[in-house]
């Protein structure tokens, strides 16, 4: 089943969405982290005997730094199928097979699969640039694609829903 009104969103547009999201997250998290972590969240290292030494670990800051962004992303995905950055470029996340809203499990899996894409020298993100459906590894693992209204590229193809048996 073709969806002629949609197109896959490629690497550079998704990169700009990431930049927008990062700037927004920074502005929103900075005051909270500043309150709870003081200066330590900015640079928790010091120079000692010609080496960098980790001088301060604040579990509150670590939880805020990792959990708040994850919750924000998952809430936006569940509510809008997109983060503010993706909304700014007119994109949304859909199930790769049906074109419908992904399940909560797909969204959670997609989020954790970001780390797979990241820890492999970011190759999972660069894969978006060479994949025919513009899927990163996190998309492939969660069976999702990122689409937007067509602006001239090839149409998005989804599988047709199974037809019920006659009778």
pLDDT digits (tens, 9 = 90+) for 56-82: 667 777 788 889 899 999 999 999 999
Q: Rounded mean pLDDT of 144-167? A: 74
Greater confidence (161 vs 75) lies with 75
Question: How many separate domains does the chain show?
Answer: 1
Integer-rounded Cα Rg, in Å, for the chain is 19
Range of the domain at 21: 2-157
For residue 114, is it within any domain? yes
Q: Is the dihedral of CA 111, 112, 113, 119 positive or negative?
A: positive
45, β-bridge pairs: 54
Range of lowest pLDDT (37-41, 86-90, 128-132, 142-146): 37-41
Tell me the pLDDT tens digit for each residue of 24-37.
998 988 887 777 76
Q: φ and ψ at 74, to 5 degrees?
A: -65, -35
What DSSP string describes 27-83? HHHHHHHHHHHTTTTT--EEEETTEEEE----HHHHHHHHHHHHHHHHHHHHHHSS-
Q: Is residue 163 part of a domain?
A: no
Q: Is residue 165 part of a domain?
A: no
- On whether residue 141 sits in a domain, the answer given is yes
Range name among 2-6, 26-30, 106-110 with the lowest pLDDT average = 2-6
Query: Predicted confidence band at 49 (pLDDT cuts at 50, 70, 90)?
Result: low
Asked whether residue 164 is assigned to any structural domain, the reply reads: no
Residue 167: inside a domain? no
Say if 11 falls within a structural domain.
yes
83: in domain: yes
Q: Say whether pLDDT at 130 is over 70.
A: yes
């Amino acid at each position: 089943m073709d969806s002629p009104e949609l197109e896959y969103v490629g690497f550079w547009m998704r990169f700009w969405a990431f930049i927008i999201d990062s700037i927004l997250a920074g502005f929103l998290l900075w005051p909270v982290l500043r309150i709870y972590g003081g200066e330590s969240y900015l640079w928790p290292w010091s120079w000692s005997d010609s080496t960098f030494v980790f001088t301060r670990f604040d579990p509150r800051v670590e939880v805020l730094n990792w959990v708040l962004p994850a919750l924000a992303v998952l809430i936006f995905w569940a509510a809008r199928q997109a983060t503010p950055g993706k909304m700014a470029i007119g994109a949304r996340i859909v199930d790769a097979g049906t074109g419908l809203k992904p399940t909560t499990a797909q969204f959670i899996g997609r989020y954790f699969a970001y780390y797979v894409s990241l820890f492999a020298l970011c190759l999972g993100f660069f894969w978006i640039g060479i994949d025919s459906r513009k899927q990163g590894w996190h998309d492939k693992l969660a069976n999702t694609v990122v689409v937007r209204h067509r602006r001239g590229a090839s149409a998005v193809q989804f599988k047709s829903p199974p037809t019920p048996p006659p009778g």
